Amino acid sequence: MRIIAFVIFCLVALAAAEVGRAANPAFRISIDAETWGKFGWRYPVTYVFHVPAGPRELKVSRRDAPGDPWAPIEAKSAGESFNGAECVRYDPKARRACVSVGFKSRSTVELEFSGAAQVEFVEIARYYDARKAVYSLSIDNWGFRQNANPGAPWKGSDDDRSDKYQAALAVCRANDLPVSIAINTHGAGGDSFWQTMQAELDRGDRSWEPAVHAETHPCRATEYLVRGYRSEILGCRDQLLGRLRNVPWGQHIFEHILTCGYFDDSVLATSAGQFVLVRGYNSGDNPTSVDYVGWNPQRGFYGVGGLSYKAYDRVFQSRKPAGRYYRSDVDALDAAFEQVYRQGQIFYAMWHPNRYSNSVIHDPRPPVEGVQGSSLIQHLAHVAHRKDVWYVTNGWLHCYRYVAENAKVVGEPRAAGTER
Domain coordinates in residue numbering, the chain: 21-130, 133-403
Looking at every residue in the chain, the average pLDDT score rounds to 93
- H or E stretch covering 384: none
The string of pLDDT tens digits covering residues 44-93 is 999 999 998 765 678 999 999 999 999 999 999 988 999 999 999 999 88
Total Cβ atoms within 10 A of residue 398? 29
Q: Are 133 and 292 in contact (CB under 8 A)?
A: no
Instruction: List beta partners, residue 99.
Output: 47, 88
Question: What is the rounded CA–CA span in Å between residue 137 and residue 393?
Answer: 6
Distance CA 217, CA 214 (A): 6
Q: How confident is the model at residue 177 (pLDDT cuts 50, 70, 90)?
A: very high
Torsion, Cα of 378, 338, 89, 100 (10° steps): -90
How far does Cα 220 stand from its chain's mean position?
A: 29
Q: For residue 183, which phi and psi values (nearest 5 degrees)?
A: -115, 135
Please report the pLDDT score of residue 115 as a whole number. 87
In angstroms, the CA 328 to CA 14 distance is 69
- pLDDT bucket at 310, cuts 50 / 70 / 90: very high
pLDDT of residue 55: 58
Looking at residue 92, its pLDDT comes to 87
- Spell out the residues 6+ positions from residue 228 whose beta carbon is closer than 8 angstroms to its own: none
pLDDT at 342 exceeding the cut of 50: yes
Find, among 311, 312, 301, the residue nearest to 395 by Cα.
Answer: 301
pLDDT of residue 283: 96
Contacts of 280 (CB under 8 A, 6+ apart): 258, 261, 263, 303, 304, 305, 306, 307
Residues 106-146: tens digit of each pLDDT: 999 999 999 888 999 999 999 999 999 999 999 999 999 99
As a whole number of angstroms, the distance between CA 201 and CA 209 comes to 9
Residue 363 and residue 358: Cα distance in Å, rounded? 7
Distance CA 237, CA 243 (A): 10
Cis peptide before 109 (omega within 30 of 0): no
Averaged pLDDT, 383-405: 98
Closest CA to 214 of 260, 168, 276, 147: 260
Interval 240-294: pLDDT, tens: 999 999 999 999 999 999 999 999 999 999 999 999 999 999 999 999 999 999 9
Which run of H or E residues covers position 397? helix 394-406
pLDDT of residue 16: 42
Report residue 88: phi and psi, to 5°.
Answer: -125, 135
| SS3 (DSSP) at 41 | coil
User: Considering Cα of 160, then 162, then 168, then 170, what sign does the dihedral take?
Assistant: negative
* Amino acid residing at 206: R
CB 92 within 8 A of CB 116: no
pLDDT of residue 22: 52
Of 112, 182, 174, the C-alpha closest to 394 is 182
Are the C-beta atoms of 368 and 325 separated by less than 8 Å?
yes
* Residue 418, pLDDT above cutoff 70: no
Q: Report the alpha-carbon distance of residue 19 to residue 28 in Å, rounded.
A: 18
Q: What is the pLDDT of residues 3-42, one digit of tens each?
A: 444 434 444 444 444 444 457 999 999 999 999 999 999 9
The pLDDT of 169-181, averaged and rounded, is 98
CATH fold of 21-130:
Immunoglobulin-like (2.60.40)
Lowest-confidence segment of 184-198, 210-224, 404-418 by average pLDDT: 404-418
Q: What angle do CA 270, 272, 273 make, to 5 degrees?
A: 130
* pLDDT at residue number 420: 29
Q: What's the CATH number of domain 133-403, 3.40.50.410, 3.10.150.10, 3.20.170.30, 3.20.20.370?
A: 3.20.20.370
pLDDT at 78: 86
Residue 10: exposed, middle, or buried by beta-carbon count in 10 A (0-12, 13-18, 19+)?
exposed
Interatomic CA distance for residues 172 and 216, integer angstroms: 25
Average pLDDT over residues 299-315: 98
pTM above 0.85, yes or no: yes
Query: Is beta strand 71-72 parallel, antiparallel or unpaired with respect to 26-30?
Result: unpaired
Residues above pLDDT 90, as percent of the chain? 88
| Confidence check: pLDDT of 335 > 60 | yes
3-state class (DSSP) for residue 301: strand
Number of C-beta neighbours around residue 93 at 10 A: 7
